[in-house]
């Protein structure tokens, strides 16, 4: 069972994202009809720079709901079940996750925490245990198959798989949800694995849609103070008090 590595790929994004957000914002503040404005935006009558400038100014006022019209879809592999349990708590999103019920896990990959990797004896013990889990899974799968479970053996054998077991997901979030996700998960206090994934996603989106994501990141950077309070602050930013 080899160690797995994180990989994040952008699969899809809403076409003409800047123009769509611009049209939605303009609809909020204009007596005109966005449906009539749309062809002008696509033809270039209103430059992308002008659209982005308008969006930026409105966002500074705190009005951000129109960015929900734009979504991005990512494929991620090399993440643990421990991470995906955290990920699905972000409920304004869609997830498709690799099934341990249907996918054979005899040779499952795993995620090795850096803190364990840094201690040779801990790393050795961890890897020994992963190997033992694989053998137990295989034994149970064989026993269950012989007992009549057949193709359904996986759904019971999987109960021995650890949170370190590697998983793969496809997820879709709108821009507003992504900004919230980055505020929480790019924070230094976020768990190391989901923080690493969040920063990889943010790096991609800063290139894809800078007008929305160039300033996205930990919540403290937007607020200019740490909202975690004295007990939990990492010390990067001053407290609100």
> 21 is written with which tokens?
């957000």
Identify which has the larger pLDDT, 19 or 44.
19
Residue with tokens 């899974």: 137
**Residues 129-142: pLDDT tens digits?**
999 999 999 999 99
Look up residue 158 and give its DSSP letter.
G
> 211 is written with which tokens?
């007008």
**Residues 75-93: pLDDT tens digits?**
999 999 999 999 999 999 9
pLDDT tier for residue 1 given thresholds of 50, 70 and 90: low
**Residues 119-132: pLDDT tens digits?**
999 999 999 999 99
Spatial distance between the Cα atoms of 131 and 13, rounded to a whole number of angstroms:
39
Q: Which residues are designated catalytic?
A: 185
Residue with tokens 């009809």: 33
Residue with tokens 């193709």: 151
Is residue 235 scored above 90 in pLDDT? no
Q: What pLDDT, on the 0 to 100 scale, is given for residue 32?
A: 92
DSSP string for residues in 62-90: T--GGGGG-EEEEEEEEEEHHHHHHHTT-
CATH topology classification for 8-75+167-223: Gyrase A; domain 2 (3.30.1360)
pLDDT tier for residue 231 given thresholds of 50, 70 and 90: confident
Ranges of each domain in the chain: 8-75+167-223, 109-164
Compute, in degrees rounded to 10, the torsion defined by CA atoms 179, 180, 182, 188. 150
**Residues 15-37: pLDDT tens digits?**
999 999 999 999 999 999 999 99
């Amino acid at each position: 069972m080899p160690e797995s590595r994180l990989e994040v790929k952008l699969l899809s994004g809403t076409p003409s994202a800047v123009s769509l957000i611009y049209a939605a914002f303009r609809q909020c503040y204009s007596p005109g009809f966005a449906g009539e404005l749309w062809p002008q935006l696509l033809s270039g009558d209103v430059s992308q720079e002008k659209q982005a400038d308008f969006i930026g100014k409105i966002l500074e006022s705190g009005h951000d709901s129109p960015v929900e019209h734009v979504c991005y879809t990512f494929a991620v592999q090399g993440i643990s079940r421990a991470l995906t349990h955290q990920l699905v708590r972000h409920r304004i999103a869609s997830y498709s996750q690799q099934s341990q019920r249907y996918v054979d896990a005899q040779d499952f990959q795993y995620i090795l925490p850096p803190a364990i990797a840094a201690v040779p004896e801990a790393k050795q013990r961890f890897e020994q245990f992963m190997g033992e889990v694989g053998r137990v899974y295989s034994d149970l799968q064989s026993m269950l198959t012989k007992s009549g479970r057949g193709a359904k053996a996986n759904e019971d054998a999987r109960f021995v798989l650890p949170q370190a077991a590697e998983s793969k997901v496809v997820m879709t979030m709108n821009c507003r949800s992504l900004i919230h996700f980055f505020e929480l998960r790019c924070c230094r206090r976020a768990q190391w694995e989901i923080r690493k994934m969040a920063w990889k996603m943010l790096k991609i989106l800063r290139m894809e849609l800078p007008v929305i994501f160039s300033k996205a990141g930990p919540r403290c950077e937007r607020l200019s103070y740490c909202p975690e309070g004295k007990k939990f602050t990492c010390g990067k930013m001053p407290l609100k008090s």
